[in-house]
Amino acid sequence: MADNVLRVLARGTASAPIHSAHARGMSRFVGRFDDYDLGTPFVATDERGIKTSGIMPARVCSAEPTTFAQSADRSEFTEQLLHLRQGALWPFDEATARMAGVAFDPNYGGEYVKGADGKLVNVAHRDALAARKAEADAANAAAAPTKTKTSAPSAPSAQEGK
């Protein structure tokens, strides 16, 4: 008998937990990863007054499907099937949609598109990276020194020569 496999993508702002990871004390969500480029810088001060800077990563949607095999973990497979049926995940392919009994949208509600290389791209992540780059370019342009016309050095005076 062939193994049932779910292939899913994160959907919108819903965060479907990976229950087996949460049971081990790790915060993991289906189809999400931490992006430090879009993160928020912070400075934390400990109880001794020592400051430490860091970045709180942005949790974004991955364009790579997450797979769950029924034979690998039956309870995880069932939980993700429920998340799929509740609309927290996109079925990546028609087979997954049929298995879950949900409609397959090949455009994923406009959240994902095919890039120039033919691979799936998360639109919100792509746009956020482009906006961050534009902000950085504008800040760099504003901080760059502008060329100004400088006056010619004056000739040394008679007093300076003595």
* Largest pairwise CA distance in the chain: 103
Q: Name, in order, each residue with C-beta under 8 angstroms of 63's C-beta and a sequence gap of 6 or more.
A: 9, 112, 119, 120, 121, 122, 125
Q: Where are the alpha helices (DSSP H) in 3-143?
A: 19-23, 74-85, 94-100, 123-143
* Rounded Cα distance, 85 and 89, in Å: 8
Q: What is the pLDDT of residue 152?
A: 54
- Predicted TM-score (pTM) of this structure: 0.74
Give residue-wise pLDDT tens across range 24-65: 988 899 999 999 989 999 999 999 999 999 999 999 999 999
pLDDT at 1: 41
Q: How far apart are alpha carbons 24 and 30 in whole angstroms?
A: 16
Element (H, E) at 66: strand 66-69
pLDDT (mean) for 128-142? 86
pLDDT at 158: 54
The arithmetic mean of pLDDT across residues 91-113, rounded, is: 94
- pLDDT (0 to 100) of residue 43: 94
- Mean of the per-residue pLDDT values of the chain: 87
Domain ranges of the chain: 5-32+63-137
